[in-house]
Amino acid sequence: MMNRMENLYRQIIMEHYKNPRNKGLVDDERYNKSHIRNPSCGDDVTIQTLVEGGEVKDIRHEGSGCSICCSSASVLSALLKRRPVEEAQYISTQYVNMVSGQSYDTDVELEDAEAYQGVKQFPARIKCATIAWQAFEDTLGGDDDE
């Protein structure tokens, strides 16, 4: 009965939801910040990124929302920290393509983010799973929207 649900809400996702990594913003102007709010459901995510010498040195996140949205911010921060900017960007694109059911580079090691594969069967939840990643990509653009 719950197979579809278990496929969406994998243990690893719920684990990140309960124990988020890299949570909490820092007061440091070297960080780029992006805040995205989904006006239809109230999911609210802020991502902070520290980029130095072409590398993503640190990622912080804060926000409120459903388990898919909040957990994916945590997963993102753990996965993309300490990666060259281009690589982080590339991985992020593969993730977004994966959850939206588009073709993506399956050779990329998505680690915990693999758990979001089930999302593509729930079109209404794709936005939840990608909002943090959009915010992250915005921070790489170098614009501080706050």
Rounded Cα–Cα distance for residues 31 and 1 (Å): 45
At 129, give phi and psi (nearest 5°).
-80, -15
Contacts with another protein, 3-22, as mask; x by CB under 8 A = -xx--xx-x--xx-xx----
Binding to another protein (CB under 8 A) within 103-132 occurs at 122, 124-125, 128
CB of 70 to another protein, least distance (A): 8
Please list every residue from 59 through 78 that binds another protein, using CB under 8 A. Answer: 64-68
- For the four alpha carbons of 78, 81, 83 and 87, in that order, the dihedral sign comes to positive
Q: Which of residues 29-48 bind another protein (CB under 8 A)?
A: 40-44
142 near another protein, judged by CB under 8 A: no
CB atoms within 10 A of CB 77: 24
